[in-house]
Amino acid sequence: PREILYNKNIISTIGDLREEGYRNIIVQPTHIFFMEQSQDLRAYVRALASIDTTKKKWRPFDKLVMGRPALGMPGDSFDYHEDMAKAVATLAADAEYARREGAMLVYMGHGNEHWSTGIFSETQKKMREVYPDVETFIGTVEGYPGLDDVMKHLGHAGTRKIILKPFMIVAGDHAVNDMAGPDADSWKSILVKEGYDVRPVLEGLGSNDAFAGIFVEHVKDAARANGITLR
């Protein structure tokens, strides 16, 4: 199908939907948290939504809004602590697998160099509260906390086994190469060199139906908040 083989940017996609007659559109990001890409996406959405015309009938949209990422976003419309707690609740199978194997659970998030929030550290803390039998760590490919920051604490976990998983929607290039690849600078190679028994799991969060369902709920929230009826 064309929509699978050819990916368009957000402006083209919204334009296509408008040409098909849609005047109420919810753009739902599949990002983990509100960082650089979500900020840019919101800027596009707000810019297009702000288009005004002399006559109302020529306005391209009735409502064009954006939902929030999995772990929420800044602001008081929705409490990001609740979003984070719901996301953590969907990761019970990961924690149980690590517990059963007597291993630590180490996630690789994407992160970014644009700015770093404390969301990954806060999510790590929440994971340990909800699943106290498992030492959980979350690091990022870019920005803070990186693998070096994570490794400072691994030695205190009481086990040399690690379940290594991507804290990303898909297990793409970062997971296959940066996390579990054969090169010396992959997380797996670095950890193995330090004497850890590393078991990579190439499965993104999007493969977890409960986690993917968070985005569906966020679409519904955006619809309710903006008076949009979903069909």
Q: Which of 152, 163, 172, 173 is nearest to 201 (CA)?
A: 163
Distance CA 195, CA 154 (A): 11
Among 31, 81, 110, 156, which one carries the catalytic annotation? 110
Distance CA 121, CA 117 (A): 9
Query: Which run of H or E residues covers position 124?
Result: helix 119-130
Residue 155 burial (10 A CB sphere; 0-12, 13-18, 19+): exposed
Q: Are 168 and 70 in contact (CB under 8 A)?
A: no
Query: Is 110 labeled as catalytic in the residue annotation?
Result: yes
Strands (E), 11-59: 24-27
Main-chain dihedrals φ then ψ at residue 151, nearest 5 degrees: -65, -25
Sort strands 63-66 and 197-200 into parallel, antiparallel or unpaired: unpaired
Q: Give the residue numbers marked as catalytic.
A: 110
